[in-house]
């Protein structure tokens, strides 16, 4: 258990206020706990693992430390809203550095020539010049793309911040304003063909679909806002890694009076009819007025809610029939010596379309795309002086995906992919003698993700195709139940740290209203999104908004 700090007299739970259980201490669970505790509710977070963070937890291999999951941090103003609403600031707990270059792209091609290298930057004019050097005219198209998506995000933001419970919630003035720019019949890639002439520029603005675990050839075109968000608001590194953010939220929670109990797996949610009344933790029944689920959404429905209480579309077969994101093969490597790579480096396959098809159909690719994070280059907290802590991610099929026959056998495929990936760290990423320099190592396969209660090992949750967005995702107040709520990447607006924080704002507002208390987010001092210039501080240090 994480011990409580002294409670602030302004945030102590008030007598006879609702008792809230939050299942899971991931970023969604911790951020919603901050908001509910800040409203004076009595909050207990129950985490199955011995450490907090979920997929955003800290991993350690000897003296080396790694983020388990997310390494890109964007839209820091959303988290600052949450801290600000309860009288704190993100900068009270963690230092964040803005990256430039944001990341390096190595774009393979079928000609067999050297990959095209693009170091991306938030300086829009410099970035336009770099794209013009790839293909004359693509830089000018980039500036149009940024302007168009600035408008798209501004129109989308009210929807991203609102509960979408059905068609009635979509029949609003905000939705009518955004409808003309959405073009739901287009994929991300199709929309980019209307801007950019070169394949390299299109891939530079579409690989971000992988943040959702999807192919840009299938991902809905509204997600062109992802690269825009990078260029507009920056890519950031919290010192200590993204897990430093969940540590900050945990500290804030305890200051606000919430309790965090680790190594406390919830095995079942208790009900009186369709009303959630508590949870079972290590065989003990514990009663609460409301239950908020921050576990993997479809796994939780299958495993925590009795089947006889679930609707037809919530039964195991119906949940498993949904589309899921890809999974990932992970290497967390403690490396001897420094590594001469930027903070983030993304390599796209010479046969990119085939690689994506292989992922969707349950095969391994000969030339897979992969990603390397090298945070110890600017963060001395992650590795001994002079050494490096590398995070290596290879997108793969989830444990469900198999067009013909059985899913990939990771007991045999895992060691082979490990050897191949270590070899490609040298041949593709240019790290001399990479395999020989490994001093510490952790490896995760899709089977390992599945064993961590992630349905089908789909690390990015349910896919974000049109029929699994908005009210077609599990809703913030779970359909068919009373006093049962969800938060995290499985609900609206979707996956990724910034939108998980938006989901926590939505869930907390709805729950506060049901409990008859005012949400801290509605206090007059809470500030909304700054303009881009506020966050485009060339000092590289985020100091709050």
The tens place of each residue's pLDDT in the chain, 545 residues long, gives 343 333 333 444 555 789 999 999 999 999 999 999 999 999 999 999 999 999 999 999 999 999 999 999 999 999 999 999 999 999 999 999 999 999 999 999 888 789 999 999 999 999 999 999 999 999 999 999 999 999 999 998 888 898 988 877 777 867 777 777 778 889 999 999 999 999 999 999 999 998 888 999 999 998 999 999 999 999 999 999 999 999 999 999 999 999 999 999 999 999 999 999 999 999 999 999 999 999 999 999 999 999 999 999 999 999 999 999 999 999 999 999 999 999 999 999 999 999 999 999 999 999 999 999 999 999 999 999 999 999 999 999 999 967 666 789 999 999 999 999 999 999 999 999 999 999 999 999 999 999 999 999 999 999 999 889 888 999 999 999 999 999 999 999 999 999 999 999 999 999 999 999 999 999 876 655 555 555 444 333 333 32
| Statement to judge: residues 28 and 131 lie in one domain | no
Determine the pLDDT at residue 229.
96
Inside any domain, residue 442? yes
| Statement to judge: residues 360 and 437 lie in one domain | yes
What is the spatial distance between Cα 404 and Cα 361, in angstroms, rounded to a whole number? 8
Q: Listing from the earlier edge strand, what are the strands of the sheet with 284-287?
A: 266-272, 275-281, 284-287
Inside any domain, residue 307? yes
| Statement to judge: residues 370 and 428 lie in one domain | yes
Structural domain of 503: 19-54+252-321+462-519
- Work out whether the CA dihedral 223, 229, 232, 237 comes out positive or negative: negative
Inside any domain, residue 87? no
Q: For residue 101, say if its preceding peptide bond is cis, omega within 30 degrees of 0.
A: yes
| Pairing assessment for the beta strands 236-238 and 388-396 based on DSSP bridges | unpaired
Q: Which CATH number does the domain housing residue 489 bear?
A: 3.50.50.60
- Using CA atoms, how far residue 407 sits from 210, 366, 413, 531, in Å, is 21, 17, 11, 46
Determine the pLDDT at residue 6.
32
Q: Which CATH number does the domain housing residue 204 bear?
A: 1.10.405
Last residue of one domain, picked from the residues 456, 476, 511: 456
- Using CA atoms, how far residue 404 sits from 41, 361, 363, in Å, is 51, 8, 10
Inside any domain, residue 529? no
| Statement to judge: residues 452 and 487 lie in one domain | no
| Statement to judge: residues 292 and 204 lie in one domain | no
What is the domain count for the chain?
Answer: 3
What is residue 25's three-state secondary structure?
Answer: coil
Inside any domain, residue 104? no
Phi and psi, residue 330, nearest 5°? -120, 140
Last residue of one domain, picked from the residues 434, 456, 478: 456
| Statement to judge: residues 312 and 256 lie in one domain | yes
| Statement to judge: residues 338 and 451 lie in one domain | yes
Nearest to 69, CA basis, from 504, 497, 542, 499: 497
What is the spatial distance between Cα 439 and Cα 436, in angstroms, rounded to a whole number? 8
If you search the block for the tokens 């190595």, which residue do you land on? 106
């Amino acid at each position: 258990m994480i011990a409580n700090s002294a409670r602030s007299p302004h945030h102590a739970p008030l007598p006879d206020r609702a008792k809230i259980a939050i299942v899971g201490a991931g970023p969604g669970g911790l951020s919603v706990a901050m908001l509910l505790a800040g409203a004076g509710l009595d909050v207990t977070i129950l985490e199955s693992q011995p450490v907090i963070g979920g997929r955003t937890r800290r991993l350690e291999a000897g003296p080396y430390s790694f983020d388990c999951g997310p390494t890109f941090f964007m839209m820091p103003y959303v988290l600052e809203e949450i801290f600000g609403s309860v009288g704190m600031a993100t900068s009270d707990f963690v230092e964040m550095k803005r990256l430039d270059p944001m990341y390096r792209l190595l774009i393979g091609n079928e000609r067999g020539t050297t990959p095209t290298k693009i170091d991306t930057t938030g300086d829009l004019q410099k970035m336009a010049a770099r794209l013009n050097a790839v293909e004359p005219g693509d830089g000018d198209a980039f500036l149009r793309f940024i302007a168009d998506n600035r408008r798209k995000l501004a129109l989308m933001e009210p929807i991203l911040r609102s509960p979408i419970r059905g068609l009635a919630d979509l029949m609003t003035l905000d939705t009518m304003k955004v409808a003309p720019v959405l073009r739901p019949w287009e994929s991300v890639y199709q929309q980019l063909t209307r801007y950019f002439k070169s394949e390299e520029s299109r891939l530079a603005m579409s690989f971000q679909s992988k943040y959702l675990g999807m192919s840009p050839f299938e991902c809905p075109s509204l997600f062109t806002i992802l690269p825009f968000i990078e260029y507009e608001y920056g890519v950031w590194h919290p010192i200590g890694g993204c897990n430093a953010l969940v540590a900050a939220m945990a500290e804030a929670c305890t200051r606000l009076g919430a309790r965090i109990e680790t190594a406390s797996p919830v095995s079942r949610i208790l009900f009186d009819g369709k009303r959630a009344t508590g949870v079972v933790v290590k065989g003990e029944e514990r009663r609460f007025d409301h239950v908020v689920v921050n576990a993997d959404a479809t796994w939780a429905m299958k495993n925590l809610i009795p089947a006889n209480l679930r609707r037809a579309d919530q039964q195991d077969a119906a949940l498993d029939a949904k589309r899921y994101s890809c999974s990932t093969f992970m290497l967390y490597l403690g490396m001897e010596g420094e590594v001469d790579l930027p903070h983030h480096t993304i390599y796209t396959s010479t046969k990119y379309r085939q690689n994506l098809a292989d992922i969707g159909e349950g095969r391994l690719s000969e030339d897979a795309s992969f990603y390397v994070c090298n945070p110890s280059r600017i963060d001395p907290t992650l590795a001994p002086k002079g050494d490096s802590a590398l995070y290596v991610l290879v997108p793969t099929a989830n444990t469900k995906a198999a067009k013909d026959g059985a899913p990939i056998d990771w007991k045999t495929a895992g060691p082979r992919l490990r050897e191949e990936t270590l070899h490609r760290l040298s041949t593709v990423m240019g790290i001399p003698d990479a395999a020989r320099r490994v001093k510490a190592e952790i490896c995760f396969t899709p089977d390992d993700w599945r064993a961590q209660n992630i349905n089908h090992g789909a690390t990015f949750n349910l896919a974000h195709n049109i029929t699994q967005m908005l009210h077609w995702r599990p809703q913030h107040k779970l359909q068919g139940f009373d006093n049962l709520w969800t938060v995290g990447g499985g609900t609206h607006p979707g996956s990724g740290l910034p939108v998980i924080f938006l989901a926590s704002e939505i869930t907390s507002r709805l729950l506060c209203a049901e409990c008859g208390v005012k949400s801290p987010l509605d206090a007059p001092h809470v500030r909304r999104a700054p303009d881009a210039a506020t966050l485009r501080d060339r000092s590289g240090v985020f100091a709050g908004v």
